[in-house]
Amino acid sequence: MSPFLELTKISEITRKLPQAMQDKGFEIRILMPRFGSINERRNRLHEVIRLSGMNIIIDENDNPLIIKVASIPSARMQVYFLDNEEYFQRKHVFRDNSNKFYEDNDERTIFFCKGALETVKKLGWAPDVVHCHGWMTSLVPVYMRTTYKDDPTFKNSKIVYSVYDNCFTEKLNPDFSRKAIMNGMDASHLEAFKNLDCESLHLGAISYSDAVVFGGAAISPELVKFVKATDKPVIEYEASADYENYFNLYEEIQDEELASLA
């Protein structure tokens, strides 16, 4: 999210969309990983003690979740950063200085998705819409529809998933699906993720979402065909985003007046 980390077009969308919705009266919460390339001092991040202290279990290992927050004064918005020394305290984002895809990107994804949901729960705040941006958020929809389906925080939430064309070409760790399983789930819930590539992460997320946004011009034809076949509401890609379309989409998938958005 701009201005904290500007890798792709996503950073602009995730900066402007929340503000546009906030201007329409939504209550917004923004969550993102605290990648090591984000300068804490310059961006004035500070730890939120009341939210930190949770452990996220992955492959039977306890991983401390540290929550930090920073403000965007010009927009009156706060951003929550999910941090962990082992997963995010490194200079690069998804690849090392030799451009090698990090071997633990599977666990980093699982950590972020689990951590985001637990953080929202700890905030004591039930969103009407959860909007997930890109492959690193792809487990959030399946978790919300399985493990968290009866949780008061999420049981009435609708899910929007934005597909972008900034995919990776490698495959995730072969144990990804096993490590990603939570209570209330079995292997069948992660069947769509089985190919372990970026497109399968999109397929899995879309399968459990209520609506889809095409956030790039180079989405694969197979993925577009899959989305069309689901008959879910869709926002087609536009080079210049019209955020009114997002507002209309949120209203379309909700039966009542909207108040909150994650």
Give dist(CA 58, CA 198) in Å, integer.
20
Report the mean per-residue pLDDT for the chain: 89
Average pLDDT, stretch 17-22? 92
User: Alpha helices, DSSP H only, in 146-214?
Assistant: 176-180, 198-207
Share of the chain above pLDDT 70, in %: 94
Token pair listed for 5: 């980390």
Asked if pLDDT for residue 260 goes beyond 90, the answer is no
Query: What pLDDT digit, counting tens, does each position of 84-97 carry?
Result: 999 998 888 899 88
Token pair listed for 65: 């979740």
pLDDT band at 13 (very low <50, low <70, confident <90, very high): confident
The secondary structure of residue 17, as a DSSP letter, is H
Asked if pLDDT for residue 184 goes beyond 70, the answer is yes
Lowest mean pLDDT among 3-17, 101-115, 177-191, 196-210: 3-17
The reported pLDDT for the residue numbered 148 is: 96
Q: Which of 70, 66, 68 is nearest to 52 (CA)?
A: 66
The reported pLDDT for the residue numbered 180 is: 96
Is it true that the peptide bond before 3 is cis, omega within 30 degrees of 0?
Answer: yes
Q: How far is CA 105 from CA 39, 137, 196, 234, 259, in A?
A: 21, 12, 11, 28, 34
Asked if pLDDT for residue 138 goes beyond 90, the answer is yes
What distance lies between CA 7 and its chain's CA centroid? 16
Give dist(CA 237, CA 93) in Å, integer.
26
According to DSSP, the β-strands at 27-28 and 211-214 are unpaired
* Three-class secondary structure of residue 14 per DSSP: helix
The pTM for the full model equals 0.92
Give dist(CA 191, CA 195) in Å, integer.
9
The reported pLDDT for the residue numbered 11 is: 77
Give dist(CA 57, CA 110) in Å, integer.
9
Strand partners, 65: 54
Q: How far is CA 7 from CA 28, 94, 228, in A?
A: 23, 11, 29
Domains and CATH numbers, the chain: 10-26+93-261 (3.40.50.2000)
Query: What pLDDT digit, counting tens, does each position of 32-72 carry?
Result: 999 877 777 777 888 988 888 899 999 989 999 999 999 88
Whose tokens are 């909007």? That residue is: 131
Asked if pLDDT for residue 75 goes beyond 90, the answer is no
Q: Which of 27, 34, 30, 37 is nearest to 15 (CA)?
A: 30
* Three-class secondary structure of residue 109 per DSSP: helix
Query: What pLDDT digit, counting tens, does each position of 216-259 carry?
Result: 888 899 999 999 999 999 999 886 667 889 999 999 998 655 55
Asked if pLDDT for residue 7 goes beyond 90, the answer is no
CB-CB contact of 51 with 42 (8 Å): no
For residue 20, count CB atoms less than 10 angstroms from its CB and return exposed for 0-12, middle for 13-18, buried for 19 or more. Answer: middle
For residue 234, count CB atoms less than 10 angstroms from its CB and return exposed for 0-12, middle for 13-18, buried for 19 or more. Answer: middle
